[in-house]
Each structure stands twice: as structure tokens, then as C-alpha cells.
Amino acid sequence: MGQEIAAAHFRYHDFHRFDRLLREELALLQGWFQDRNFSSQRSIAGLELETWLVGPTGDPLPINEQVLALVDSPDVVPELSRFNIEFNVAPQSLAARGPKAMVSELDATWAACDRIAGRLGAGVVSIGILPTITDALLSLSNMSSPKRYQALNEQVLRLRQGRPIRLDIEGREHLKTEHHDVMLESGTTSLQLHLQVPLDEAVRFYNAAVILSAPLVAVSANSPLLFGKLLWEESRIPLFEQAVDVGGGRFSRVTFGSEYAQDSLEEFFVENQDHYPVMLPLSMDERSDRLVHLRLHNGTIWRWNRPLIGFDSDGRPHLRVEQRVMAAGPTTADMAANMALYYGLAESLATAPHAPESRLSFADARHNFYHAARHGLDATAAWFDGRQWPLRKLLLTELLPLARDGLERLHVDSDLIDQGLSIIESRVATGLTGAAWQRRFVERHGRDLALLTREYHARQRTGQPVHTLDV
């Protein structure tokens, strides 16, 4: 989805050509799986962070083009709306001080962008859903300029046969509205974690990511408000799923999936071909040993845990798992802690003597995820012992020790392990996620969403973890 295109409109022959090249590339990929032609590197991590540009009043400012021109970095790119920019951090080994290097780069990029945005009367805010965003602001007039976004909008509406997008989210309160373009998607911003995995371990790591989606979405919840209504603790989940719902069939474009991986991540690319209509039939090179068409098609299917194909610096293909359930923010300290929790737990579960997916049904993992997105740390979750656990107890007594064990086996430096997991422990013990902080602010100060955004932004700039911030 990050590739620019020459035109936003497509014809029948564009779809026909793209489909032909997609099938050729899938056959090539299947040959790589059969011949085991993948990099053996493991424990290489990377991240993407989506952020908001906000003015002094707390309202979003549609100035990403101006900010990006001044930043002039390939690692800072536009998102769907002019209110958003995305930071990309270079991949790092998780061993030793690798996680610290990632966070330091993220901090430096954020500080540079915030400084430049300040010259334009704006600041950079990291939050799941910006409290001051409105339905009216999510309009085509605020769509970013790259033509791929216009094409995405046209194709979503084509697949919906022109029907409006209906948003219906019932949580603490109930929100129903209709929207006539894809811009609702830009109301959701997230922290996306990547993990490179070797072929032999890829299925186990993918399934571990699926199982961990529930505790991760709960502990990182930071999106309780949408259009002035208190909904789910992580309202980003239903908003994104409904914003690009093209209708028809059981295979949604934004999805938790239909099953664990069974034998190979190849299964998902076959599923892409068999069940997802092509959305962006871009005209690219006929020779496609880099799988440009297959990777683009995969980029228009937003599984909450998404398998990816990439390439090492020597050109050898590799497999990655992209974990997409966590909201952006509140601070880099919080996100560093979220990273430590995920990477440690993924290592523990994926290398356990008995596959955890054999002890927890996919249906239970899926139910856990949506229940946790709705109720946050107050949710319960089915677990390997067949019991229903309060999620906070599960995190404190079972998951944090597993995360520590995984990080130690990854050879992460001990001070980084202690720092990250102690933040998670305190956040869970107090119940103060970003979502809980926002709700408490509303309870104390009323539904002044501009004030909420300004105060959130001010506290975010301290860099302190959310559980320590006053309301």
C-alpha cells in the first residue's frame, strides 16, 4: 500500500493483467516454500507508528504534505488522511540492546517531526483515535494526495456496489452513522510490530501472535472515544473492520482470520488469491521475482496478524509476522514496554515444547480478542488450562513471567527487560491504560474533547508511562 501509482482509475484489462501476474508470482512463492528458499535469520524486529498532526486547540491539522516536505526522510511517510504521518524504524536484532536502538530511533524521529510541525503551528500526537476527530473531518477533501488513496476509495466503493459504509458500534454508548467514502479508516492509528522468523518456526510464531492478540489489545488499549461517544476500550478494532467492509462472504478485508496456520504461511497467500478480489491492479514490471503484485495484494488485506514476504539485504526472501492489534501511544516508554511484552511472549509461546495452539481453540482465541478489545483489562480470557481467567490476573501471574523468559532467551539486556516489564506490571496492577486515562479524564472534567487532547498531548511530551500520569 505504500507504492505510488500513475493513475487512480482502472479498466478491465488492468485487473486481467494483474490477476495473471498474481498467479505467476504465487506459483513462484509456492516453489520457494517447496524448496525452502527463505532466509534463516530470526529475531529481527521492526516497527511502524502512525501519528496525528494536531494544532494548539487540540484539533487535527491537515498539513502532512508540508511536514513531510520539511522532514524529507524516506522513513516518514503519508497516511490516508492529511492529518496523519507514519514513522518507520530500521529493523534490528532483538539481542542485547536492539530494542533500545529501535526506541531511540523512534524517539529521534518523533522529536524531529514534532519540532518541524511546531514551525507550522502543530504537534505530533500518538493515540489510537484522536478525540477531536469528527465524522465531517474524515472527508475526501482531507485525503492525502498520493493517487493510491483515491484508488483505494474507488475500489472499496466499487466492491460495495456504491452502498454507503455503515458504522455501528455498541459499547459503553452506541454509535451509528453512515459514511460515503473510505476515510473512516484514517481515524485509526496503531503501533505495528514486525518479527522476522525462519521457515521452520513461522507457523508457531504466527499462531503465537494470534493467541497473544487478546492480552496485547487490552494492555495497549488507547481508543475509548469516537465522535464524542465512549465505546470500546479499543474502538479502533470495530472502526477499522467496518471502515473497509466491502461486504459479501466470510472473508473480510480486515479480519482476525478464519483459522490458525496449519502447515505453512503459504496457506494465507493461497487464501488471498482464492477469496479476495484484487483491489489495486497497478501497472508494474512484468518480471516479478520480488513478488511486487503478490505483496501489494497482501497489503490490501488487513489481517490483525498478517504474514509478510520481505527480502534480506542480499536479496534472499524472508518471512515476517506483522502484529497489528496495538494502538499507537501513549508514550515511547509505553510502546517500548508493549514491544518487550510482545516479543518476549512470542518467543516463549513459539518455542514451547507443546504448541499452544493445540491447547486453545481458534474460536476461543478469536473470542478472547474481541472481548478484550471491548472491555480492556476488565475482560476475561479462556486459557490453556481450560479455565476463564481475569485478564489482569493472567497477565500478572502467567504472561509476565513467560515474557521475561522469552526476552532472556533472546539475550535482551537485563536492564531493558526489567524496565519494559515493570511498566507493564504497574500498568496492569493500576488498570491505567491510555483508554482508562482518557475515560477518567472525561469523568473528572466532562466531555471537552479539545481539552482532553491538549492535556493528553502535554503529558505525552513528558515521556513518562501512562500509569504515572495525573488526570
Coil/strand/helix, residue 222: coil
pLDDT at 234 over 60: yes
Coil/strand/helix, residue 153: helix
Cell numbers placing 3: 507504492
Q: Are 243 and 182 in contact (CB under 8 A)?
A: yes
| Per-residue pLDDT tens digits for 235-246 | 999 999 999 988
Indicate the pLDDT class of residue 9, thresholds 50, 70 and 90.
confident
The backbone region for 227, taken as left when phi is positive above 0, alpha when psi lies in -120 to 50, beta otherwise, is left
Give CA angle at 328 (324, 332), nearest 5°: 120
pLDDT at 288 over 90: no
| Per-residue pLDDT tens digits for 367-384 | 999 999 999 999 999 999
| Per-residue pLDDT tens digits for 391-439 | 999 999 999 999 999 999 999 999 999 999 999 999 999 999 999 999 9
Q: What residue ranges define each of the domains in the chain, with the CATH number in brackets?
A: 12-464 (3.30.590.20)
Indicate the pLDDT class of residue 282, thresholds 50, 70 and 90.
confident
Average pLDDT over residues 140-162: 92
Alpha-carbon distance 446 to 456, whole Å?
14
Question: Across the chain, what does the average pLDDT equal?
Answer: 95
What percent of the chain lies above the pLDDT cut of 90?
Answer: 92
Cell numbers placing 425: 506490571
Average pLDDT over residues 307-325: 97
Indicate the pLDDT class of residue 162, thresholds 50, 70 and 90.
confident
Alpha-carbon distance 239 to 244, whole Å?
9
What is the pLDDT, as a whole number, of residue 7? 54
What percent of the chain lies above the pLDDT cut of 70?
Answer: 97
Q: Are 230 and 171 in contact (CB under 8 A)?
A: yes
Q: Are 138 and 101 in contact (CB under 8 A)?
A: no
Cell numbers placing 258: 478464519
Coil/strand/helix, residue 81: strand
What is the pLDDT, as a whole number, of residue 247? 72
| Per-residue pLDDT tens digits for 448-470 | 999 999 999 999 999 999 999 99
Q: Are 405 and 344 in contact (CB under 8 A)?
A: yes
Helices (H), 260-331: 266-275, 292-299
